Structure 1
Amino acid sequence: MKIFVLSMLRSTDRRDAVRKLMAEHDLAFEFIDGVDGKEGSHPLLKKFKPSKFLIRHGRPSKPGEGGCYASHYLAWEKCVELDEPIVVLEDDFILRDCIHDVLAQVESLMPRYPFIRLEDNGPRLQKTVFERDGFELVKFLKIPQRTTCYAVSPRAAKAFLKSSDEFVYPVDVFLRHQNLHRVPLFGLSPRPVAPVDPTDENSEIGNRHAGKAPAWSKLTKLLFKVKNLFLNILTNIYHEIRGY
């Protein structure tokens, strides 16, 4: 499977760290030039709708969140263009020694399981699909946050693209709302990837909670949260019927 790392051209230190880490683990990869939401000139940023984001998410958006979503959008386009599963990484990750064994498992699983998360996630509402040879595949019933590393199939990538006419959530929240794209999300253990800084202190996006939200947005956030919770339950039932 081809590996793509999302990274902005200006992030030279991160790119150097990625090259060193991937060389240490003998992994071939390519950079996808990420979209700089702060710079604001990329065509995909026209899809980013801060007002709708505020209504749904209950806080002001950061320009970097639009860039992050657009960068993953480019990765999904690459997956569809190649017509084969790929691995997507953000450029702030740690690799564990199990990476090659996990990637071999993922490649065999992708025809059946269209999206497999490969990073740490902590305790989550999930069910075990199967265990074999020391590996565990789980179906997430409550999707973890973050998009540091995942494998995605063309079928899933097409669904994500089709459901992204507008960017109205952070990209990881969009993925969590399975009702928006209908793609079942899985995770594989042992997990070969972890974020460098799980607290987001060094994130390109910055402090997501720095801006003050209007009081009414708390109500709209609650309404959308209840709606998505209900629809996600229905989507999980739909996946169960289909055998996921």
Structure 2
Amino acid sequence: MHIIIISRQEEETRRAFQTGQMARLGLSFEFLDAFEARDLTDAECQAAANMWPSPSLPQDIACFRSHRLAWTRVVKTGQPTLILEDDAVLAETLPQVLTAIEAAQIPANAAFDLEFTPEPHILDDREKLAFLGGKVVARRVFKNRVGLAAYVIGPQVAGRMLKDTERYGLIDSYFWHRPWLMGLQIEPAQAVQMRFLQDNEDAQPYHRPQEKRLFRPSSKLRKALLRLELELNRGRCLLQAAFHSQRRQPLIDRAQFRT
């Protein structure tokens, strides 16, 4: 499977870690230079913030643009692709799981979330797919506010996401709550951000770095309408989960991870 790792050019330590990790797992990949928050003007940040109901940081907007760059690459290659952020630690079983995903009959509107985050998701209590003799499963995810560090999409999903994100949105939450998307959580999770690999009660699911530039929607009416639109989309996803879902963290086997 094609693999793209989104990484800032100056993150030499993380790039070295990813290069070693990929070599150990026998996986080929390419780095995609992340969009730099420092290259955004205040006007660009404010224009983006006007399209989202909650406060936005330049890093949020840069992350949004970086993932859109990755989706453009997926559309161009026409291949299912694993997209990673450069702080993702991968399970030893990941190569087999990727091979199994490629071999499965996957709906064109499906995307796989391979990541563990310590944030409760709303997950289907039924398995959608099973891999590796049932040791790894995929189940529908109906709510996931945090987590876009490791996911698999095909060109159809990437193309539609590009159309849906012509205006800015907080990318983690926005991605998994598209009503047309069949989001599938892989369990046990095959990736985890470095800061969550060790049990750390102080690690917050959503990390916002210190930043002086914080941008908010300039119109209260627009903010209210955007919030309504967002909640309606989330509500549609939750309706699909009625009577056959559970609220919990994704499963993870920490013994499968090395640093």
The TM-score normalised by the length of structure 1 is 0.79
Measure, in 2, the Cα distance between the counterparts of 1:135 and 1:157: 25
Deviations 1:174-195, CA, capped at 9 Å, x for gaps: 213314xx22211111211000
Residues 35 and 67, structure 1, Cα contact 8 Å, conserved in 2: yes
Note if 1:70 corresponds to 2:65. yes
Looking at structure 1, the residues matched to 222 and 91 of structure 2 have their Cα atoms a distance apart, in angstroms, of 41
Cα deviation, residue 131, structure 1: 5.3
- Structure 2 counterpart of 1:32, one-letter code: L
Task: Report how far residue 213 of structure 1 moved.
Answer: 6.2
Equivalent position of 1:164 in the other structure: 165
Q: How much identity, in percent, do the aligned residues show?
A: 20
Does 131-140 or 224-233 show the bigger shift? 224-233
Q: Supply the distance in 2 between the matched residues of 1:25 and 1:85 (Cα, whole angstroms).
A: 19
2:209 corresponds to which of 203, 206, 226: 206
| Aligned residue number for residue 92 of structure 1 | 87
Counterpart of 1:125 in structure 2: which amino acid? I
1:58 counterpart = 2:60: no
Structure 1 residue 212: deviation in Å? 8.7
2:106 to 85, 108, 111: 111
Q: Which is further off, 139-148 or 79-88?
A: 139-148
C-alpha change, 1:105 and 1:13, in structure 2 (3 Å) is same
Q: One-letter code of the match for 2:5?
A: V
Matched, 1:136 2:134: no
> Does the Cα contact within 8 Å between 1:184 and 1:239 map onto a contact in 2?
no
| Cα separation, partners in 2 of 1:14 and 1:52, compared to 1, 3 Å | closer
- Aligned match of 1:149: 150
1:51/1:22 Cα in 2 relative to 1: closer, same or farther (>3 Å)? same
**8 Å contact from structure 2 (residues 142, 241) kept in 1:** no
Deviation at 1:35?
A: 0.8
1:98, 1:190 within 8 Å by CA — same for their partners in 2?
no
Shift of 1:76: 0.5
Which structure 1 segments of 5+ residues have no match? none
Q: Look up the equivalent residue of 2:186 and give its one-letter code.
A: L
Q: 1:196 aligns with which of 190, 194, 197?
A: 194
**What is the CA-CA distance between 1:164 and the residue it aligns to?**
1.5
Paired residues of 1:106 and 1:151 also in contact (CA < 8 A) = no
Residue 120 of structure 1 corresponds to 116
Give the alignment's TM-score, normalised by structure 2.
0.75
1:19-38, aligned counterparts within 5 Å?
19-38=19-38
2-side partners of 1:50 and 1:213: how far apart?
Answer: 7
Contact 2:89–2:191 at 8 Å: present in 1 too? yes
Q: 4+ runs of 1 displaced by more than 6 Å?
A: none
1:4-49: CA deviation from partner (whole Å, max 9, x where unpaired): 10011111121111111111222111111111121238xxx99x65
Q: Is the 8 A contact 2:46 2:215 kept in 1?
A: no
Paired with 2:22 and 2:48, the residues of 1 have a C-alpha distance of 38
Contact 2:177 2:237 in 1 (8 A): no
Q: Offset at 1:67?
A: 1.3
SS at match of 1:57: coil
Task: Give a deviation string over 1:118-140, Cα, whole Å, max 9, x none.
Answer: 01034421113335322221111
Residue equivalent to 1:229? 231
**Please, which runs of 5 or more residues in structure 2 have no aligned partner?**
197-202, 243-259
Deviation, structure 1 residue 110: 6.4
Query: AA paired with 1:172?
Result: D
